[in-house]
């Protein structure tokens, strides 16, 4: 088989949480360009529908589903809709997340819980929902969005809940990989550095660029290759791994 053929996803069924914008939307575009049918999952149905319609131009089937990934009932309803439309799930990109930029002494318990519920519990719920389908058929790839903040504390941007949640995502990924490897279900994570999205635009600093060896902020497109690699047969012996896409920020 030609190596490039191993990156193709023709006939595969995928969902992307937080898929209406930013990293999620560009990941969905990449998966569709590689041939997968895509379900765009987002709390906001209007942008999810717009993203699904845009991505349909690549010739694959698309579906927009409104869901709050931190709510068990929403995730169950989400899976019912996906399975009703697509019949199965081969690829799950669990990407939905938030960040509250507050120092520990300023952060309320409610804010802490909100970040953990969406960033960590949300990934647990969506990964488990997809995993149950994949374990039953003994095939599938799950990709979770971590962060370089799960590896380091990216001074001067202190956000204890976000950093803790993303460290949890990376370790949850390894745990699921260990559990489900026997069923041929692979679970990996991608840890972005500073990416130019709506999540970072309000807090971007010149010091970020000065510290990055590549001397720029990342773009959502910079993660597309890693997403397609982990979703495809090209990574058939890769599980429990976390891929840093941070421009070298964590080198220091």
Domains defined for the chain, CATH in brackets = 3-251 (3.40.50.720)
| Catalytic residue flag (residue 147) | yes
Give the pLDDT confidence of 147-188 residue by residue, as tens digits: 999 999 987 778 899 999 999 999 999 999 999 999 999 999
Quick one: pLDDT at residue 160?
94
For 103-145, the pLDDT digits (tens) are 899 999 999 999 999 999 999 999 999 999 999 999 999 999 9
Could you give the CA distance from residue 188 to residue 207 in angstroms, rounded to a whole number? 30
pLDDT tens-digit series, residues 19-42: 999 999 999 999 999 999 999 999
The pLDDT tens digits of the residues spanning 66-116 come to: 999 999 999 999 999 999 999 999 999 999 999 998 889 999 999 999 999
Does the annotation count 102 as an active-site position?
no
Respond yes or no on whether the N-terminal peptide bond of residue 156 is cis (omega within 30° of 0): yes
Question: Per DSSP, which regions of 18-149 are E strands?
Answer: 37-42, 62-66, 91-94, 140-145
Q: Is the pLDDT of residue 10 over 90?
A: yes
User: Does residue 42 sit in helix, strand or coil?
Assistant: strand
- Is residue 139 within 8 A of residue 84, CB to CB? The reply is no
CB 68 within 8 A of CB 74: yes
At a CB cut-off of 8 Å and minimum separation 6, what does 158 contact? 101, 103, 104
- Which of 70, 141, 147, 235 is an active site residue? 147
**Unique residue bearing structure tokens 């942008």:** 47
Are the C-beta atoms of 92 and 127 separated by less than 8 Å?
Answer: yes
Q: Within its chain, how far is the Cα of 224 from the centroid?
A: 11
Residue 124 is a catalytic residue: no
Annotated catalytic residue within 26, 124, 162, 229: 162
Give whole-number Cα distances, 50 to 19, 60, 167, 237, in Å. 11, 15, 32, 35
pLDDT score of 205 more than 80: no
Determine phi and psi for 200, rounding to 5 degrees. Answer: -115, -15
Catalytic choice (124, 166, 189, 191): 166
How far, in Å, CA of 146 to CA of 119, rounded? Answer: 9
């Amino acid at each position: 088989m030609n190596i490039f053929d191993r990156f193709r996803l023709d006939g595969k069924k995928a969902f992307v949480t937080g898929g209406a914008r930013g990293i999620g939307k560009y990941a969905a575009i990449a998966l569709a360009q590689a041939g997968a049918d895509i379900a765009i999952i987002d709390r906001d149905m209007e942008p999810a529908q717009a993203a699904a319609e845009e991505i349909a131009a690549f010739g694959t089937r698309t579906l927009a589903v409104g869901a709050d990934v931190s709510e068990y009932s929403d995730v169950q309803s989400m899976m019912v809709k996906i399975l009703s439309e697509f019949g199965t799930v081969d690829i799950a990109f669990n990407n939905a997340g938030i960040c509250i930029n507050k120092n520990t002494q300023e952060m309320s318990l409610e804010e802490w819980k909100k970040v953990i519920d969406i960033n960590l519990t949300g990934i647990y719920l969506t990964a488990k929902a997809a995993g149950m389908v994949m374990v039953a058929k003994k095939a599938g790839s799950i990709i979770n969005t971590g962060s370089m903040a799960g590896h380091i504390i990216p001074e001067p941007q202190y956000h204890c809940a976000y950093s803790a949640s993303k460290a949890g995502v990376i370790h949850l990924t390894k745990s699921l990989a260990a559990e489900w490897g026997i069923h041929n279900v692979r679970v990996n994570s991608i840890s972005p550095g500073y990416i130019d999205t709506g999540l970072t635009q309000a807090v971007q600093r010149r010091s970020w660029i000065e510290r990055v060896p590549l001397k720029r902020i990342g773009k959502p497109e910079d993660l597309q290759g890693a997403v397609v690699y982990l979703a495809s047969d090209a990574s058939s012996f890769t599980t429990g791994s976390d891929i840093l896409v941070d421009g070298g920020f964590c080198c220091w």
